[in-house]
Structure formats: structure tokens, C-alpha cells
Structure 1
């Protein structure tokens, strides 16, 4: 409790006795001010509970809906669906999976010559159907690749007033670029499978960097690569994989980069200049010899001493055996002229090719020979098919590289090939393209980082 000092209380009492009206007025003003304040915060409106309640009823006329109902009743729509063909498919089962119940369409698919390509040959072909809301087929289409890498074929079946019609068209692909990245855990193909990269891209990577990386013996866990490759699309559907446009491969901590470059202009014969792979500083990755006579394959027996499976004794294996199935294309590793094509003792069907600088290559155990003596061949050209003729216990390609008649390790020879830089005239165009490639590879690398996170 608050207490005033005694001398102040005495002073207030004296003032009240001498000036009673003045003190009373002051107290009145104080109380009036308090009253005004209380009036200012009190509600001005009456209590809603005390207000009278009036109920008003009014008829509302609904808007006419018959026109809208009739319009909805007449509305028609089409449905689209895509399915892949199966080995067990019939015309009826395929249409059923497409959500179509149309006996006339099924009968047409069974009888039409063009429509036979749907269920013939390989499975997994994408078929797109357009159907009415009553499950009647309106249009069906399918696309597939041709031997021409620039064109695809399109089957179109359509309903007309007179019935169904069919036609097969040819059209050019649309090219687009895709970015991808992966890390090696066990093998190159396992890494590309994990990242959903086509096998053909893995093969190209092995080809591009084969002069610097031994993909059969030098890959390590943790090696990684970034790649930009081309896809060829038919009406938005990716039908085939095109060329690797650029790539970076990190092996044992060392990075190797490559890009596809085609110099502008034409050669002396009037044809467009030939393209190839180059390092980003302009050195060609094309060497005089490929490192392998077959596309990326497992080496079953290297250039060394081994126990001969037929002769049953140890002897020098002066070549390299590449494991491959019968019928796999065998290719020449460099430009040259066919010196011999035929059968020769333990080699079976064999091809000898003479190259410059007294170099010679041998391709043995072939199931088929595709060249003849005296024929000029170019690097990468198919000269026969892998087989098991001669002294072979199974299908593989025996390959030899000879220098002045003496066998040499083909891997060593391939790495010793000289490279050719970009011409001075094409250098400005190359540098401009290389700048874009660097950005693409950086973008591809972020895909791997995002996946890891």
C-alpha cells in the first residue's frame, strides 16, 4: 500500500479548508475525463440479439440447361494410347491392350498386307492408336528404322467413310542431343546399363578413347565419364542412337576429352570434308591403326606365352585373340591392300592385309571372307565374319600385327600412331565449337552429381 508523508497530508487538508470549491471542481474535471474515456470505448450499436428478425421469400427462376445438356450429349472425344508389340500378340490382343473393341479393325489388321509389319519381325515396336469414345479405331500408326541411317518408315492405318486404308511412308529423322554421365563400378557396359545409356554409346566411347585407354585391362573402379550423344527421333519417338558428339573419360585420375568435328567446306573431289574426333585443343584422335579388329570385345588370349589348347604344349602366342560370336564383323585396323584371302593351315579362313612401312595384319578363323586379293580396303572396313575355322576350339578372331615380318603387340602399335591437328583454315570454327562442348560436358557432369545426391 502506498503512504503519503504526514507533512503532505497536512498541506492537502489546509488547502481543502481554505479552497473547498477549487478542489471540488478539480475532482469533477478528473471524474468527467474518466467518464468520457469510458464512453469512447463502449459499443455504439445495439445488441444483435435484441434486433427484430424479418424473413423474406422470393421465387428464383432457373436458367435454361437443356441446350447445355444437349451439347454435352452430342460431345465426342478421341483417346490416344501407345503399346509395345509382344511375341504372343494377335491383332485382337494388341487392339484390346490399346483399349479398342472394333471387330472391323481387327479383321483389317489380319488381312491388310501393310498391316502385317506390325506383328512380323522383332517385338517391342511401339504402336499408337487413336480411338473414339465408343472404342472404335480411328487411326493407328507405327514407326521403325531402315538401313538408311537418315530415314525411318511409318505405317498409317486410318478409318474413312469407305472403310480402313493403309499406307507406308518414308520420312527423315529429327536429331536431338542427350547428356549422360556414369561411374565405373565393374565394367563399362554395366555402368552404361545402370545410367540407361545405349550399348552403342559404350562401344563408341571405347573406340574414341582406345588410343589412350585400354578398356580391357586398365579400367578402375571409380573411373567416370560424361557424354553427349545424338538420338534420332521419328515423330518424337527415339528409334536409334546416333553419333557421340562429345565425351570426357577420367581413367586413373587422368581426364581425356574428345569431340566430333567436321571441317566446313569441301575436299578436292567436291565432297564434304570428312569429320572425325579431336581433343579439345585440336589434335585428331584418329591414328593410323585401330586398337581392335572387332568392335569393343573381350580379349580371350593376349600377346604372350600360353598353353596351346590344340597342340597341348606351351608356345608363344604371337597375336591377340578376341572373343566374339560367330558372324561378328571383323574389320581392318588400317588402310591397306589385301595380300591374301583364303584358307591357310591352322589359320582356317584368313585374310592378310599389307599396310605402309612394311606393316602387315592377319585376321584368322573367319567363318566368311568378304574381300579378295588385290582389293584396297580402308580403316574400319569389314573384311569377313568371326568364326572357328582352322585350329580353333571355339568362335573367336585371331589377330596379328607384323612389322618387317615379325609379330608385334597390336596394342603397342596402335598407341604409337601419329595424330594430325585441325587445319589452320578450320581452326576458328573448331575453337568456337570446342567452347560449346566444354559447357555441354560440364552440364553432363552435373547429372552424375545430382544422381549421387
Structure 2
């Protein structure tokens, strides 16, 4: 045993003998100590004020207000500015347009007819967005019209603003300025009851966005056969605005940024993303491109009138195998190549009428028949999505439509099956990391879009 251990044992032994020899004295010391602590705590507690003893005071103040006559006089002196909005229509004249806006102003109508700049209000295409400020008597003070720019190269980025104002001397002046369009992001969602376009119209979503949605999910969902009542979608899209008003004259308006579509209980997602080369496309939230080597359809959106199956031939009146897909669409609807390739044939071909055939390599080719016009030439190399012609009714056709065939080593196959099985374009590892950040943000926006749609439905 060491010296430290022997000293500790000696100290403990002396303590035990002390407790045994003087038990009452030790107990008194402990009790006295506790009492002192208690008294100290009680003393401290007593120093806090009692809330019931705090002084109370009632403050009363009279609030003065102006009498009713003076308030009415102030309102009467307040000048009101009334605005009316309209869109120009085909055949509009100065009087008819102003009358539709509740304006009866012969001087303003005469100025619109006479002035070269002001006359543009009723010239050209209909659909101009018009906003007018009027006096309580219905006289024009200021009119602003917004419409597609005269310079076609600026149609997707700018708009023309025509301003007509009445000066202090009562005379009108007109001026035109070309102004950049602004972009705003909007959210929407809907439920399929009859068709995609009916659901998008019900939700206030532009047709251009509905078309892009059908295009983005064309490989995942056959919108002609697989759409079900009760399917839902949520979408984030941008609109181009002119002074805060959504434009109606430009097809570029309404770019879809992201969407989620639930078809038969399965959810599909699409996000617009530009890669490092600046090329944009739709990708799933998993980073896989929605774009395939072969598009599912040669038109952006159309109605399948005859699928890849047996059918009664409309002219021969016989049951025959239909080795392609017929798309019903108005004459002149653009037809696009479903994949890059070389034009093998462009001309007339018996019952097919005007035909374009494109070779894509590895024994694969596509054929586009009954065209009203041909926009490519034999031997031309074309990219995916390039316009090859337009829908027509040439050859053996009972009405305007596109007959589309997909061949593998000369044998017709189901085009949709080929599109679904074709390889997807994938992002590089570096791009995937950047896309992950975009996808996370988009996920929150899609959830918000779904909430907005549910609130509107209620």
C-alpha cells in the first residue's frame, strides 16, 4: 500500500470516530446550515414585487375626426381615372372600336382615321391589346395599343407600343416605340375529364403549353390511347408580357419550364434544361433526357385516325393490314422528320401522292405520304424536327391527313414502339450536378403548382 492510500484511510477513520462521538452536535450544525440557506432564499424571494400591488392607471383619449360633410367634399374633389380595355377585331373601324370601349369621341375617331401613325390601330392584323383612359363624360384622354412588331426579326423579343394622347390644348398626338417583352413565371394544374386541351383550357393554361406537355411526355404516354379520366398534371411555364399583359400574337409565348403528369397512377416528370453547349431540352427529374433518337410523332400534336393494325380500307372497302399510322390534321399542318437522316425520295408515288422518305442508318427509314407540299429535296441531309412537308390529301386519300410509316430493313413496324425503345440522351457527370440543383428548385415549384390548382378547384 502506498503512502497516499494510507493517508486517505487515516482521514476517513478520524471522520468516522468524530461522527460516532458527537452525533447530536453534527446534526445541529447541519440543521442550522439548511435553515440559513432557507432564510436566504426566502429573503431573496420577498424582494420581488407582488403583481397585485402594482399601480393601475386608466388612460382615456378622445380621437378627433373630420365631420362627414368635409369627407364627402374631399371625395367629390378626388379626380377619378377610368380605364377601358379591348382587343381589335377584323373589320374594326375607329368608331366601332371606340364605341366598344364606351367612348363617344368624334375628334378622337377622326384623328385615328387621319393620322398615319394612329391609323395603325385599325390596320393590319386583329388582336391588338388596347387600353384607353377616358373622362367621366366618355372622352378619350389617352390610348395605348400593344401588338407584334413591324420588324419580324423582333417578334419573339419585342412589341410595338402605339400611344395616342390628348394634350392640354385638346389636340391629339401619336407615337410608336418598340419595347422589349418581359417574362413572367406562372403555375397551373388540372385533371383530365375528356381531353388534355379541355383540361388545360379549364385551368387557364395556354394551348402552346399543352402542346409542349404532350410533346415532352410523348414517349412516356400515348396521348391518343393511354389518357385516362382522372389523370392529373401540374405545370410551371413562362409567358411573355407586354406592359404586364400576356401577349396573344406570338407562338413562342408560353414556354413550359417543368411539368409532372400522373397517368394511370404512375408519375412522369419533365424539366426544361440547357446543357453546356446551350442546347435546351426536357429531362426527367432523374436527369434522363425525354428526347430520344426517334420522335414518337411526326407532328407536334394531332389525332390518330388509324393505328398500326388491321382496318377496313376506306377506298378499297376491304379488311387489310394497316402498316403505318394515319394522323388527322388540317391541310397545311407542318410535318417534321422524326430523326436525322438523308432524304432518300421526295416526289410523287402512286396512291401515296406526294411522298418524302428519309433514311436514318442501320436499316431504318421513315415515310411521310399524302403531303400537300414537299419542303426537302432528294439527297439532302436533315436533322430531327426539320419540316419535310405539310399535311394534304394527295393520292388515294378521302381527306387531309398524314400517312406515316417506320421501316426496319424494309419491313413496316409500329413507330411508337420504336420511339419508346430508342436510346435516351444523357447528361455528362458535370452537367448532372448542375441539373440536380435545378431539379430540386423545380420540385418545389411543381408542388406549389399542384396546391394552386387544388385551391382553384375548391
Give the TM-score, by structure 2 length: 0.77
Cα distance in structure 1, aligned partners of 2:119 and 2:343: 44
Deviation string, structure 1 residues 2-38 (Cα, Å, up to 9, x no partner): xxxxxxxxxxxxxxxxxxxxxxxxxxxxxxxxxxxxx
Deviation string, structure 1 residues 137-174 (Cα, Å, up to 9, x no partner): 23211112355322222222233459433333222211
Please tell me whether residue 258 in structure 1 is matched to residue 270 in structure 2. Answer: yes
Contact 1:367–1:384 (Cα < 8 Å) also in 2:
yes
Please tell me whether residue 247 in structure 1 is matched to residue 256 in structure 2. Answer: no
Q: Which shows bigger deviation, 379-388 or 91-100?
A: 91-100
Q: Which residue of 2 aligns with 1:192?
A: 200
Flag the structure with larger Rg. 1
Deviation at 1:215, TM superposition (A): 0.4
Cα distance in structure 2, aligned partners of 1:284 and 1:114: 49
Please tell me whether residue 180 in structure 1 is matched to residue 202 in structure 2. Answer: no
Cα distance in structure 2, aligned partners of 1:242 and 1:377: 27
Contact 1:302–1:319 (Cα < 8 Å) also in 2:
yes
Deviation at 1:123, TM superposition (A): 4.2
Contact 1:76–1:132 (Cα < 8 Å) also in 2:
no
Query: SS of the counterpart of 1:285?
Result: strand
Cα distance in structure 1, aligned partners of 2:223 and 2:208: 15
Query: SS of the counterpart of 2:436?
Result: helix
Contact 2:206–2:254 (Cα < 8 Å) also in 1:
no
The counterpart of 2:380, out of the listed 365, 375, 383, is 375
The counterpart of 1:80, out of the listed 63, 79, 83, is 83
Cα distance in structure 1, aligned partners of 2:173 and 2:454: 51
The equivalences for 1:374-453 within 5 A come to: 374-453=379-458
Q: Which shows bigger deviation, 283-292 or 89-98?
A: 89-98
Cα distance in structure 2, aligned partners of 1:391 and 1:113: 52
Deviation at 1:76, TM superposition (A): 6.2
Aligned in 2, Cα 1:338/1:121: closer, same or farther, shift over 3 Å?
same
Query: SS of the counterpart of 1:113?
Result: coil
Cα distance in structure 2, aligned partners of 1:276 and 1:229: 14
Instruction: Name structure 1 gaps, 5 residues minimum.
Output: 1-64, 268-272
Deviation at 1:78, TM superposition (A): 4.3
Please tell me whether residue 346 in structure 1 is matched to residue 354 in structure 2. Answer: no
Deviation at 1:80, TM superposition (A): 2.4
Cα distance in structure 1, aligned partners of 2:457 and 2:141: 46
Deviation string, structure 1 residues 245-277 (Cα, Å, up to 9, x no partner): 00000011000011001135xx4xxxxx20111
Cα distance in structure 2, aligned partners of 1:156 and 1:376: 48
Cα distance in structure 1, aligned partners of 2:80 and 2:448: 42
The equivalences for 1:19-30 within 5 A come to: none
Q: Which residue of 1 aligns with 2:327?
A: 322
Contact 2:187–2:237 (Cα < 8 Å) also in 1:
yes
Cα distance in structure 1, aligned partners of 2:79 and 2:191: 51
Deviation string, structure 1 residues 101-140 (Cα, Å, up to 9, x no partner): 3322101112233334433455443211123455442321
Query: SS of the counterpart of 2:247?
Result: strand
Cα distance in structure 2, aligned partners of 1:233 and 1:433: 24
Deviation at 1:282, TM superposition (A): 0.8
Deviation string, structure 1 residues 178-230 (Cα, Å, up to 9, x no partner): 11111111111111122121111111111000111000000111110010111
Q: Which residue of 1 aligns with 2:161?
A: 154
Instruction: Name structure 2 gaps, 5 residues minimum.
Output: 1-68
Cα distance in structure 2, aligned partners of 1:167 and 1:366: 46
Cα distance in structure 1, aligned partners of 2:115 and 2:357: 51
The counterpart of 1:97, out of the listed 89, 95, 100, is 100
